[in-house]
Structure 1
Amino acid sequence: MIKKKILFVCLGNICRSPSAEAVMKAKLEKHQLNDKYLIDSAGITGFHEGSPADHRMQQHAFQRGYLLTSLSRPIQIPTDFYKYDHIIAMDKENMSDLTALAPDNFNSEKLSKMTDYCTHFTHDSVPDPYYGGAAGFELVLDLLEDACEGLIKKLESEWICFR
């Protein structure tokens, strides 16, 4: 079976996108769908390359049962644009950066924002919690849990259409 490949992207790949990766993997496992998808995360910048997720984000995620095990990496241009079926930005700035970084013949339909998949929250982005307190990290997880469920529903409806 060919797996659908999803890349979550934020600025530094130490808070939001590694959390999205962990939440999505956990949700796919819960729905027994993990064999159908390849999930990864990256950052617009390589400032934190090789570093684990922010310890505060790890702590909040762990309290909800998520393990943030990936190491930060920058998006690889143009490789990631061709490798992944869906590239999902955490906010408008990340989306703008991804659009600007995309190769000339890149299919922009692969790009979307994480909050496009929310079904309960109406936020237009997943805010960066890095400079805030505990509530910011909790909000990130709330939004990601909602959006990952919505994304799974969308992707699974696409699978049904292609059968």
Structure 2
Amino acid sequence: MEKKKILFVCLGNICRSPSAEAVFRGLIEKEGIQDQMHVDSAGITDYHAGEPADQRMQEHAIKRGYNLTSISRPVNPRFDFKEFDMVIGMDNQNIRDLERLADGESDLSKIFKMTDFCKECFYDEVPDPYYGGDEGFELVLDLLEKSCTGLLNFLKTTE
């Protein structure tokens, strides 16, 4: 597999995208292919720049064996669209925002939605759990585990 660079994106980079980064990192480590991947996460906004992942998200992730170590940063369109092969948004608004930040067809061709890789999801996007309760954080992790598995399978078939 050719080295792939993947950026996961959500609104503030404190719940969904750092979780996607951790879940995907766990999958590629289990497969022993972490040296063939570069994985990062970012937010559309800079509201939480420099902050760790939301404490509630971290607690739910830890229960499943994921360690959310990333520090929030905003998307840098000039850098990120050049650096990454895939820029994966969590919801429809993230996709619209990324498309607005893109500079031409080359950038646009790198934008994907997380649930596009999920064959068994009944959701067409990963909902933001920030203002909800425990069930929202668990749902996010359920969707990300399925979607990240689908993403890894997609990458294996397109090498």
Which TM-score band (shorter chain)?
A: over 0.9
Task: Read off the aligned partner of 1:7 and give its amino acid letter.
Answer: L
Identical counterparts, % of pairs? 57
Aligned residues of 1:12 and 1:46 also touching (Cα < 8 A): yes
| Partner of residue 83, structure 2 | 83
What is the alpha-carbon distance in structure 1 between the residues aligned to residue 3 and residue 50 of structure 2? 26
Does residue 49 of structure 2 align to residue 52 of structure 1?
no
What is the alpha-carbon distance in structure 2 between the residues aligned to residue 78 and residue 49 of structure 1? 18
Does residue 36 of structure 2 align to residue 36 of structure 1?
yes
| TM-score between both structures, scaled by the size of structure 1 | 0.94
Q: SS of 2:77's equivalent?
A: coil
Q: CA deviation at 1:155?
A: 0.3
Aligned residues of 1:82 and 1:106 also touching (Cα < 8 A): no
| TM-score between both structures, scaled by the size of structure 2 | 0.97
- Pairs within 5 Å for 1:96-135: 96-104=96-104, 106-135=106-135
| Partner of residue 24, structure 1 | 24
Paired positions, count: 159
Task: Read off the aligned partner of 1:46 and give its amino acid letter.
Answer: D
Task: Read off the aligned partner of 1:66 and give its amino acid letter.
Answer: Y
Aligned residues of 1:85 and 1:110 also touching (Cα < 8 A): yes
The 4+ residue runs of structure 1 with deviation greater than 6 A are: none
Task: Read off the aligned partner of 1:142 and give its amino acid letter.
Answer: D
Aligned residues of 1:7 and 1:88 also touching (Cα < 8 A): yes
Stretches of structure 2 that go unaligned for 5 or more consecutive residues are none
Q: CA deviation at 1:157?
A: 0.8
| Partner of residue 146, structure 1 | 146
Task: Read off the aligned partner of 2:57 and give its amino acid letter.
Answer: M
Q: SS of 1:38's equivalent?
A: strand
Stretches of structure 1 that go unaligned for 5 or more consecutive residues are none
Aligned residues of 1:8 and 1:87 also touching (Cα < 8 A): yes
